[in-house]
Structure 1
Amino acid sequence: MNKTRFNLYLLGNTLFFALLFLAVGVVARYAMIYSFLPHDLPQEACKSLVRLWKVGLLYDLRIVCSALIPFYLFGLLLTPFASKIFPTFSKLSTYFLSLLGFLFPLIWLVNFYYFKTYHTQIDIFIFGLVDDDTLAIAQIIFKDYPVFWILFGSLIFGFFTYKLANKRLFSSLSLPALPLVCLNIIFLPLFVCGVRGSVISTPLLRAQSTVSSNPTINHLVPNPIIAFTWAISDYKKNASFFPVSQSEGERLSALALGSPTALYATTPKNDFLEKNPPFIILNLMESFGLNLLSFDNAKDYDLLGEFREHYKSDMVFTRFLPSGNGTAPSFSSLYLSSPSATISLSSVKRIKAKNNVFETFSQAGYDIIFVTGGSESWHEYGDYLRTLGVNQVYDLNSIIDFFPQAKEYQSAYGIPDEYIYKTIERLLSECKKPTLFITLTVSNHPPEIIPTHYKPYPLSNEKPLRAYLDEKHFPLVPLAYQYSNDSFGKFLTWLKHSAYKEKTIVIATGDHRMRSLSSLGVQKSFIDFAVPLYLYVPKPYLQNTNAHFNPQALGSHKDIFPTLFALSLSNATYLANGGISLLHSKEQCNFAYNDSLQADCLGIYNEGGGVVYEWTSPLLIDPNPKPAPKEKLQKFQSYKDLQWWQIRARTKGVVSP
């Protein structure tokens, strides 16, 4: 066989078998949609089916093209020797393609029955075959599933593929050299795009698997092979969860919190709160760091926009730390009460952790709604929040269904913040009972999202900031920071002129500092890590809970929910987890906890440093460290250990002693 015919044989077979294996995915996905989705879907969910097919086919294309790489690339490399190697190559490729013909339907069939059992795509629980009683699970599989027919059907398709491959399709075709070169020039880039799952954007990743607010639809999107690779990644990240001893928890609680029973607390009985449960909005804002905010100047470097009037008139704590220095660690700590940023990907992802914050609100009659401008599939938070008791999840897809114009500004991480607040405005009007809204914004995350219709406030005096922010970040980073704050400010303005102004509590904070900024210096080490905590609380709730505001109070994310519980719930027992109500506690030396930095009334302690930097003012420290008292270091280490103890206790249980 000459080179021309060999090349056409290679191109033709690659394309033919790619289409054949894609057809397997199309048939399998249709069967799953028909089997697992109700036939009377609401109109909004029906719109998502188009996205399901579009993104699902792209995932399939990634896998099929990746699987055919050995056949295609080795063939290209061996083209100069076509006349000598064709018989051997065609024989080996026949076996290779037959193997793929067996594996593709096998994996789809496994995926079908996995979905039928767990109502989800292949995920970390598939490793239960290894981690649990393997023999017992194998017996259950052979008993409850048609293993023989699955294997037989896959073998039949593999044999069918063998027959097709053995025919040496397209081997008798020929073309002149020039058209053949052009054909290769066209085919190779298309093949590369198939491997990436995209043409010009970033490769198709996990975040793109969320196409709907309906989780069942989302779980039907990924190709089972790519879902399995995600499961492997999640398995590697999986933290160790196991039962813990009661005595160890009491010991850690005594060291960290001063009492063996301090992990839980109870709000006072309050007749006013029982009769007037407020709406609550807890807004976790991307990169809302005090380090960048310290450069704010209303006249010529306005970083707050319309948020300014609210920031000045309402309560703000600036001596405040996020629990982590990334979005996932802070999100998991604040909302999930977990020191593991990957708990939503772990072996306990389907276990409803006892006494979680959402359960406390649910028991008081609340609905809980999560709204994010990003994808709910990020870290699989959407599914895990539902497991914990969140009633509704609205991510970029459902928000785009509400506001189609938002899609124009969609980035790899989501849509602009203003549409999050528009969604909350819409949902508030539909609430039939007290509701807790929790959010995660994304506009201030690279690549920063700023709609073209946004009219910025003055950002002319850049000089002070230029010493700490690289040239490449101007003007986008400060502008996105301003836009995010301004969008929130506009929402607050709307709220305070609405029917909800006297019955809605709003709290906002940052997930972490603005990480693009370099350090502001040793004296401002606390500011480098700090995020503001903003509170809008209608006067009746302040007065009827005997709240008192001390702007110099020290706190961190652990104190947010205890503060909310004290403002909204009567006689409710909750997981305090070392937190206090910043508006009600009489604690004189509260501590603030961050993964890298801790602080109390004495000063700040760098993680593992063994020294303390004493305060010289509310936000500044003495740059000369002193040896830290041993009991302080023990307290913070014990608190860190206590976090792991409590999440293990609440997911896997407690044993005695």
Structure 2
Amino acid sequence: MYGSKIDIFIFGLKDDDTNAILSIIFDDYPIIKIIFLALFFGVFAFWLNIKIMHLKFKAIKLNKYLFVVLNLFLIYAYIIALRGHFTYNALRASSYEFSIIKAFNEISTNPLMALSWAYKEYRGQQHFKSVDLAELKDFEKELFTMFDSTYKNANHAKNHIYLNILESFGLNMLEFSNEKHNLLGRLDRHFKEDFVFKRFLSSANNTIESLNRLVFLSPNIISNGLMQKKILKYTPLQVYKNAGYDIVFVYSGNASWYNLGNYFRYQGADLIIDENTLMSEFSEVRATKHKYGIADEFMYKKIYSIFKNATKPTLVISLSISTHRPYVHESKEKLFDENLVEKEILDQFIIKNPKNALKTYAYANDEFGKFLDLVKGSDFKENIIIAATGDHRFRDIKMDLNHEKAFAYSVPFYLYVPKKLQDNIYYDKNRIGSHKDIFPTLYNLTLSEVEYLSLGGKSMLLKPENKRLEFGFNEMVWMDENGVYSNDKGYYFENNSTIKDTNKAFELDIYHKDFAKLYKEFNLYQLAYRLGIAK
């Protein structure tokens, strides 16, 4: 389902909505046929093995020394086939990849080994080792400081903030949008009017992981773990709560998913709204419900009313759901002619009904565009900042890892900033970034001389001050102005306005070679520190 070996997401079958996941798997994949073919092949292999074992071979007499050498060679070849050459440790979860072709990497481990790694990672998410503060300081010396501060800002805590995290809002899907079939709908106008960054990566490739990294600055999922009731220091929720904001979390799915509703409350949210709230307020919502949630349009109606009736600065964080399998939400209007979509585009999908996915993607973007139309015509249009991004790539599209090592994981970062707040704005649409930069951007637009946990994040609308912060990071790859980095190699970009690469590799210096490993370790250490288990 995720196009990979068995990994930690298999435990989503237990922790997530099991019936919904199984239903989608059976809808999207020929499971019965696969099981039948697997059994048939198993029987055939068993029969073939018996035949081979009963073959009669002519006895061959070998010199005993040659016999020993040949057997040693066979044992050596067998070991190499199992685990790779002795100079390459293929048996570790952290280094099983050996090829730029993802499929080769994913089949390099057998299922039991992969399940063992996944289980250890799953258990590790619920247990945290005490860390040494001196080591944390060492990471800061190697990389950058954990904390930063906003500049003096006359508009401190006076403006509403809305962060919209859209399901599967990947640039790999958006690149199919053109004049013939506009997949942005009404959002197209706002993409042209406002700030948009497209050389931008999601932090992870799964909704819950991206949400944790973006909103809680946590590399681990802790909303349903042992630490779920512990206050996590320095989250954006805490920063804005301390500045006097009301905090609202809106989800067009069920807030019990990964215990998110309760966790947002523990971390300071004043109000939680999910599909149940929306179904009780809007009579037509129930007809749009699918296995994972309801149509996004009702989420936007509720959010608009929240801002319209707000009496103090309010931060709303929303998580949409429409662009999620089974792709049933679509606009009542004809946003584009699906019959005009080129076969070359349809062939890029790995699902049976790509047109449904295109219509759902267009619907979700159009509804967000409608919401922006309303805001820009409202009486609070000068007192709100709106940011939007995708939680991860659009998964049901093929990945060309020869030229899309970073692009395959890219999402847009959209920003609406009222004209009166645009003093001293620096905008470079080709600037590189990722989820880590979203809240530092919002902090610097809305707060004055406030310290915040940055973790390498910078404001995308201020001039670059520290070259080391000019990077984008996804759990699979990372990039800076020189190129994209994967599997200890760098690859040049096609040009400075895209993050597609030429597949031409270059060697890395020590900093770039060690960066991804150091940054991931740094993230684990800072989380332990914020949970109060540092010594």
Q: TM-score, normalised by structure 1?
A: 0.61
Q: 1:634 to 1:470 in 2, by over 3 A?
A: closer
Structure 2 CA distance for aligned equivalents of residues 513 and 386 of structure 1: 28
Structure 2 counterparts to residues 614-629 of structure 1, below 5 A: 614-617=492-495, 618-619=497-498, 620-629=500-509
Determine if the alignment matches structure 1 residue 246 to structure 2 residue 133: yes
1:34-73: per-residue Cα shift (whole Å, max 9, x none)? xxxxxxxxxxxxxxxxxxxxxxxxxxxxxxxxxxxxxxxx
Spell out the pairing of 1:511-522 with structure 2 (5 A cutoff): 511-520=391-400, 522=402
* Structure-to-structure mapping, 1:138-537, within 5 angstroms: 236=123, 238-257=125-144, 262-270=145-153, 272-274=154-156, 277-298=158-179, 300-340=180-220, 342-450=221-329, 453-459=332-338, 460-470=340-350, 472-520=352-400, 522-537=402-417
**For residue 414 of structure 2, what is the amino acid of its counterpart?**
Y
For structure 2, the residue ranges without an aligned partner over 5 or more in a row are 1-14, 26-118
> Structure 1 stretch 359-368 or stretch 610-619: which is displaced more?
610-619
Residue of structure 1 equivalent to 2:107: none
Aligned amino acid, residue 387 of structure 1: Y
Aligned to 2:491: 613
Q: Please say if residues 322 and 557 of structure 1, whose CA atoms lie closer than 8 Å, have aligned partners that are also in contact.
A: yes
> In structure 2, how many angstroms separate the alpha carbons of the residues matched to 1:322 and 1:413?
21
Amino acid at match of 2:167: E
Q: For structure 1, which segment, 627-636 or 289-298, has the greater mean C-alpha deviation from structure 2 after superposition?
A: 627-636
- Report the Cα offset of residue 464 of structure 1: 3.0
Distance in 2 between the 1:492 and 1:372 partners?
18
Cα 1:197–1:525 change in 2 (3 A) is closer
Match for residue 602 of structure 1 among 482, 491, 498: 482
Q: Write the distance in 2 (CA, Å) between the matches of 1:539 and 1:455.
A: 33
Correspondence for 1:5: none
Contact 1:415 1:449 in 2 (8 A): no
Point out where structure 1 has 5 or more consecutive residues left out of the alignment: 1-123, 125-195, 204-231
TM-score normalised over the length of structure 2? 0.75
* Residue type at the aligned position of 2:165: L
C-alpha change, 1:202 and 1:596, in structure 2 (3 Å) is closer
Deviation of 1:586 after TM superposition, in Å, equals 1.7
Aligned 8 A contact 1:234 1:345 in 2: no
| In 2: Cα distance, 1:319 partner to 1:197 partner | 37
Q: What is the number of residues matched between the two proteins?
A: 420
Cα distance in structure 1, aligned partners of 2:331 and 2:264: 33
CA distance in 2, matches of 1:264, 1:394: 31
CA distance in 1 between partners of 2:457 and 2:120 (Å): 33
**Kept after mapping to 1: 8 A contact 2:197/2:429:** yes
- 1: CA distance, partners of 2:19 / 2:529: 42
Check conservation: 1:320, 1:554, Cα contact below 8 A. yes
| Cα deviations by residue, 1:440-477 (Å, 9 ceiling, x for unpaired) | 00000001231573443333223231231146132111
Query: CA offset at residue 237 of structure 1?
Result: 6.6
Pair 1:645 & 2:510 matched:
no
Is the 2:405–2:477 contact (alpha carbons within 8 Å) kept by the matching residues of 1?
no
State the 1:408 CA deviation.
Answer: 0.5
One-letter code of the match for 1:447? Answer: P
Letter of the aligned partner of 1:241 in structure 2? F
CA distance in 2, matches of 1:327, 1:197: 18
The answer for the alignment partner of 1:573 in structure 2 is 451
Aligned counterparts of 1:627 and 1:473: Cα–Cα separation in 2: 42
Q: Report the Cα offset of residue 202 of structure 1.
A: 8.9
Please, which moves more after superposition, 248-257 or 481-490?
248-257
Q: 1:111-135, CA deviations, whole angstroms, 9 ceiling, x for partnerless residues?
A: xxxxxxxxxxxxx9xxxxxxxxxxx
**Could you list the runs of 4 or more consecutive aligned residues of structure 1 that deviate by over 6 angstroms after TM superposition?**
200-203, 232-235
Task: Give the 3-state SS of the residue equivalent to 1:614 in structure 2.
Answer: strand
**Aligned 8 A contact 1:295 1:464 in 2:** no
Larger Cα-atom Rg: 1
In 2: Cα distance, 1:449 partner to 1:279 partner: 32
Please tell me whether the aligned partners of residues 409 and 451 of structure 1 are also in contact (alpha carbons under 8 angstroms): no
Q: Distance in 1 between matches of 2:241 and 2:19?
A: 41
Q: Secondary structure at the match of 1:429?
A: helix
Measure the CA separation in 2 of the matches of 1:449 and 1:422. Answer: 20
SS in structure 2 at match of 1:330: helix
Aligned equivalent of 1:90: none
What SS is found at the alignment partner of 2:226? Answer: coil
**1:63 counterpart residue number:** none
Structure 1 pair 615–234 and aligned structure 2 pair: CA distance change class (3 A): closer
Instruction: State the alpha-carbon separation in 2 of the partners of residues 434 and 345 from structure 1.
Output: 29
**What is the CA–CA distance in structure 2 between the aligned matches of 1:449 and 1:473, rounded to whole Å?**
11
In terms of fraction of residues, the more helix-rich structure is: 1
CA contact 2:185–2:363 (8 Å) conserved in 1? yes
- Cα contact 1:503–1:538 (8 A) shared by 2: yes
Overall identity of the aligned pairs, in %? 33
Any conservation in 1 of the 2:331–2:363 contact (CA below 8 Å)? no
What is the CA deviation profile of residues 380-414 of structure 1, one whole-angstrom value per residue up to 9, with x for unaligned ones? 11111111111111000001112121111101100
Larger RCO, structure (CA 8 Å, separation 6 or more): 2
SS of 1:404's equivalent in the other structure is coil
1:551 aligns with 2:433: no
1:2-47 CA distance string (max 9 Å, x none): xxxxxxxxxxxxxxxxxxxxxxxxxxxxxxxxxxxxxxxxxxxxxx
CA distance in structure 2 between the partners assigned to 1:387 and 1:631 by the alignment: 38
Asked whether the equivalents of residues 563 and 580 of structure 1 are also in contact (C-alpha less than 8 Å), the reply is: yes
Aligned counterpart for 1:586 among listed residues 464, 468, 471: 464
- CA–CA distance in 1 between the matches of 2:242 and 2:171? 35
Aligned partner of 2:151: which letter? P
Contact 1:289 1:512 in 2 (8 A): yes
Deviation at 1:585, TM superposition (A): 4.0
